[in-house]
A and B are shown apart, each in its own frame.
Chain A
Amino acid sequence: MKLGFLVDLNLCMGCKGCEIACKVENEVPLSSWRLRVKYIDIGTFPDTSRSFTPLRCNHCENAPCERICPVSALHYLDNGIVNVDSSRCIGCAGCMMACPYGAIYMDPESNTADKCTYCAHRIESGMMPACVVACPVEANIFGDVEDEKSYISRYITEHQGDVQVRKPEKHTNPKHYYVGGGNQTLNPLAHERIEGYGLFNNITHLDTIGDPHHSILDRFTTPIFGGHNDHLKNESFIDMPNDADESHESHEEGGHH
């Protein structure tokens, strides 16, 4: 058995129901996401289109996060799920460095790495992942990709030629597929994050998330030098004071409309 996910981007309407269901089911803390839906706009008014791309852990067959984890906190289950044992995680963030899909986050409450587990606890009880249940248009399809009679296998067969995975060149062999995706939707370098167009550009992270001063040293230095959240901001292509913001442009075309 190899459990896999397929998202039909032609069906997804960006309601974020899956995102909310995931948050609630897994008690994902503020500022963290196991599953998120990214909005991408293409074109110039009035000829524009908007695509919605749900992004979650790809449960790779050759998972870089599993390989780099020094204590096997990230491990494979027999059904193909890449699971996390947060009680073993040492919080080295190696998995965050290794995951080509940016799917792993450091839980600010437990101080351990966490990510989508395809709701392994629900699967164990014979239930579907929370995001699948919540999707009003059945864009999320989940099942055994090794069973050719399963719905997901039949869906993949029916859409041969239009089934893609993210970053296949990484040889991670993801078990998460997209139908109706294009370069613009699946390649993070093919679209721009322009200041003023996105939400959450300048957020303040909770402790540990993306904070370069996140360690236990702070527990000693904070009383003397003050807290560090005051000056934190998301350092990204958008926020860095860099001339590149204006000159760095992608001219790639494609994607689905």
Chain B
Amino acid sequence: MDHGTVIEATKAVVTLDVALPGIIWGWMITLNMWAKSIGTGVILVGAFLLYRHKKEEMPNLRWMMPLISFIALNVFLLFTLVDLHQPLRMVNIFLHPHWTSAITVGAWMASIFTGLVTLMLAIGALDAFPDFGRHIGIVKTLREKSALYEKVFPFVVVLALPVTMYTAIIMAEASARELWAAPAELVQMLFAAFMVGSASLILISEKWSAEARRDLTLILAISVALSFIMYMGEYFFSFKAAEVEATLAYVHSGGEYFTQFWAAMVLGYIIPFFIAMGSLKEENRTMMKFAAVTTFIGLYLAKSTWLEIPQMIPLS
């Protein structure tokens, strides 16, 4: 501070205190949320496509959908674990569960969900590659139980919804951070899943029917538009809570989070929306793939900004 600066008579200044703890939940939690959105999003969007279209129109969906989900969920679970200060004690969530915690409920649901997706992947992949492991006992058994895929799938779809959204409840339970309000975050998590779910499937939809690809484009356009509107509402019009206002005032005034937030909005929402709208009129597969990639980047940046900014204000 300059020596010439005058502090107003009514202004209080902290003259001795400990340092603020800074960012506690950082990039790993961002990655965690981002990967989970992909893992559940492909299931939700895939289910919608299977409801709307014949599976012959999307020949690789049966095994690619659980494969993408499986990879993303494992990234999510890995970074959930790695972010813990005592990762080996993760087992306590299963041995000593505390059911009021959304972390506990989420961990259980996500584990069951990942298990079911793994089963779907195994069946789907073995059906897609009939020559693989013909003489291996377990492979034979799985092939014989191929119908299990269709029986498990409805449960997986239903479970994908709470698995997508439970992180919003964790954020709501983190009551010190008022920016993370439950209803808004619940809906944002759902939109995020549809955004990156459709973006993921766009990347593998080269041989799909034009109608299925058009549905994917529409889902991407609608989800980014609605999510963007919600972000704008939260970003500009959160007047009611002092802590939220302080947090956002800090971002509004410039700095790295300001840049990051608007980069997220442009990459993750504005660009994909206009490309998708253009592609609905006249399909452009290359541009749609570009839109899918920017959606991934934009969502990560948006999640990162929203996760970190409430951690910047002093709590005491």
Using CB atoms, name the residue of chain B closest to A100.
Answer: B176
Using CB atoms, name the residue of chain A closest to B10.
Answer: A253
Contacting residue for B21 out of A44, A102, A197, A251, CB 8 A: A102
Q: Does B131 contact A (CB under 8 A)?
A: no
Q: Is the CB of A208 within 8 A of B85?
A: yes
Docked Cα-Cα span, A96 to B19, in Å, equals 15
Q: Does A10 contact B (CB under 8 A)?
A: no
Q: Does A26 contact B (CB under 8 A)?
A: no
Q: If the complex has contacts A235-B312, A255-B12, are A96 and B255 also in contact, measured as CB distance less than 8 A?
A: no
Q: Is the CB of A235 within 8 A of B22?
A: yes
Q: Is the CB of B254 within 8 A of A94?
A: no
Residue among B14, B257, B312 with most chain A CB within 10 A: B14
Q: Using Cβ atoms and an 8 Å threshold, which residues of chain B touch A42?
A: 10-13
Residue among A97, A210, A215, A216 with most chain B CB within 10 A: A97
Majority DSSP secondary structure for residues of A touching B = loop
Q: Is the CB of B14 within 8 A of A98?
A: no
CB distance from B273 to the nearest CB of A (A): 29
Docked Cα-Cα span, A91 to B85, in Å, equals 4
Q: Does A112 contact B (CB under 8 A)?
A: yes
Q: Is the CB of A251 within 8 A of B8?
A: yes
Q: Is the CB of A88 within 8 A of B89?
A: yes
CB distance from A103 to the nearest CB of B (A): 7
Docked Cα-Cα span, A2 to B17, in Å, equals 30
Residues 229-248 of A contacting B (Cβ, < 8 Å): 234-237, 240-244, 247-248
Using CB atoms, name the residue of chain B closest to A244.
Answer: B253
Contacting residue for A212 out of B23, B97, B101, B243, CB 8 A: B23
Docked Cα-Cα span, A194 to B89, in Å, equals 40
> How many residues from B make CB contacts under 8 Å with A?
65
Using CB atoms, name the residue of chain B closest to A53.
Answer: B316
Q: Is the CB of A40 within 8 A of B14?
A: yes
Docked Cα-Cα span, A210 to B311, in Å, equals 10
Docked Cα-Cα span, A190 to B89, in Å, equals 40
Majority DSSP secondary structure for residues of B touching A = loop
CB distance from B8 to the nearest CB of A (A): 7
Using CB atoms, name the residue of chain A closest to B3.
Answer: A196
Docked Cα-Cα span, A99 to B177, in Å, equals 9
Residue among A66, A235, A240 with most chain B CB within 10 A: A235
Q: Does B112 contact A (CB under 8 A)?
A: no
Q: If the complex has contacts A69-B98, A184-B12, are A210 and B174 also in contact, measured as CB distance less than 8 A?
A: no
Q: Is the CB of B15 within 8 A of A68?
A: no
Q: Using Cβ atoms and an 8 Å threshold, which residues of chain B touch A177?
A: none
Docked Cα-Cα span, A103 to B86, in Å, equals 20
Q: Is the CB of A64 within 8 A of B175?
A: yes
Q: If the complex has contacts A192-B12, A200-B19, are A210 and B24 also in contact, measured as CB distance less than 8 A?
A: yes
Using CB atoms, name the residue of chain B closest to A233.
Answer: B22
Q: Which candidate, A31-39, A122-130, A138-146, A156-164, is the interface stretch facing chain B?
A: A31-39
Q: Is the CB of B315 within 8 A of A188?
A: yes
Residues 1-58 of B contacting A (Cβ, < 8 Å): 1, 6-28
Q: Does B83 contact A (CB under 8 A)?
A: yes
Q: Using Cβ atoms and an 8 Å threshold, which residues of chain B touch A166?
A: 316
Q: Is the CB of A40 within 8 A of B312?
A: no
What are the interface flags for A199-238 relative to B under an 8 Å C-beta threshold, 1 for contact and 0 otherwise?
Answer: 1110101001111111111000000000000000011110
Docked Cα-Cα span, A89 to B1, in Å, equals 41
Q: If the complex has contacts A241-B256, A251-B8, are A71 and B92 also in contact, measured as CB distance less than 8 A?
A: yes
- For the A-B complex with A64-B173, A243-B253 known, give 11 more contacts whose Cβ atoms are closer than 8 Å: A39-B17, A68-B170, A70-B98, A71-B98, A94-B170, A94-B173, A106-B24, A189-B243, A193-B17, A211-B22, A250-B11
Q: Which 4 A-B pairs have the closest CB atoms?
A: A91-B85, A212-B26, A242-B255, A102-B315
21 contacts between A and B (CB under 8 A): A39-B15, A42-B10, A68-B173, A69-B98, A88-B89, A90-B90, A92-B83, A92-B85, A94-B103, A97-B174, A172-B175, A189-B242, A192-B11, A201-B19, A208-B85, A210-B22, A212-B22, A215-B28, A217-B82, A241-B256, A248-B250
